[in-house]
Amino acid sequence: MSLLRIVAALTFLMVGAAAAMADAFPVTFTHKFGTTTINAQPVRVVSLSYAGGDNVLALGVKPVALRYWYGDYPYGVWPWAQAALGDAKPESLKGDLNIEQIAALKPDVILAVSSGITREQYDLLSQIAPTVAPEAEYGDYGTPWQVDVRTSGKALGKSAEAESLIAGVESRLAAIRAAHPDWQGKSAAVATYWNNAPGAYRSIDLRPRLLNGLGFVTPAAIDAAGPADAFYVTLSSEDLTPVDADILIWFDEDNTVSALKLRPNMRAHKEGREIFPDSVLSGAFSFSSLLSINYVLDQMEPMIAAAIDGDPATIVHDVRNGASK
């Protein structure tokens, strides 16, 4: 039996055992805007988090509304989460938040971690239903996936299920770390070319956090290029050294990275350490949710193994040229 199937089976058993134990209400959260108390287990849930709706679905709850992020999928739910959505038809919240639209849904709770809501929006939303904002220490978009899951679990009366699901993913991450001791402590960057400039995700972002779970570290130069609460930084086309890491993952389905004239001089390029995932894998990486992480690990583990050897002759995944480069 494969490791993934073993982890899935153990997780299923743990979740089944945990389901019999419901959380006691009321529950209280402390966050960047103060405190929020939920007096009873919610039924009508609105998820404003750009990726957090995945975790709500993973806990067996079908929100009445989900925040649309990107991607041409029904209700903004990507392939890895469609089975969890089932036949539910949540309202899709696109663009700027429409407070009246949310109020009309008559939610019992509004989950707003990783939503970027302002103080003014929080005050308005709190008049509709208890609203859970991100914890101050993580900023708007730096909440680790484990914290997001625990927050959703606590708010929905499913803390035990949340812990079981977290344990399942963390067990798989630990198994991959053990299988690849040569990865530990190596540098990994996640970069893109956007708005006519290269950029990279700092270590507080979900994407580098997931790589950190595999034993990689974000190059210090990337973190130093932005303030402590920034999840992304713009870099200079004249200096690509911050992303010249042991592993360099480019989000580049449109082949815009080719505009970087200095890229051929990078060690990562010359030694075949670059990975170019397709749009679904990039999306799964960006969501880094209970429902997408296993998809990332299934796809990314062999890609990283091929890229990290530093041998340019090794075939490494490049979505722009089929499956190799």
Q: Write the pLDDT tens digit of every residue in 68-102.
A: 999 999 999 999 999 999 999 999 999 999 999 99
Segment 22-45, tens digit of pLDDT: 689 999 999 999 999 999 999 999
Instruction: Report how far residue 171's alpha carbon sits from residue 91's, in angstroms, rounded to the nearest whole number.
Output: 34
* CA 317-290-5 angle, 5° bins: 75
Task: Tell me the average pLDDT of the chain.
Answer: 92
Give the list of residues 6+ apart from residue 300 with CB closer than 8 angstroms, or none: 275, 277, 281, 285
Predicted local distance difference test score (pLDDT) of residue 313:
86
Instruction: Report how far residue 109's alpha carbon sits from residue 258's, in angstroms, rounded to the nearest whole number.
Output: 46
Instruction: Report how far residue 254's alpha carbon sits from residue 288's, in angstroms, rounded to the nearest whole number.
Output: 22
Segment 163-183, tens digit of pLDDT: 999 999 999 999 999 999 999
* CA 67-49-172 angle, 5° bins: 120
Predicted local distance difference test score (pLDDT) of residue 254:
84
- What are the angstrom distances between the C-alpha of 292 and each of 79, 102, 295, 299, 315? 9, 26, 5, 11, 25
Predicted local distance difference test score (pLDDT) of residue 68:
96
Instruction: Report how far residue 126's alpha carbon sits from residue 131's, in angstroms, rounded to the nearest whole number.
Output: 5
Q: Which residues of the chain have pLDDT under 50?
A: 1-4, 7-8, 10, 12, 15-20, 324-325
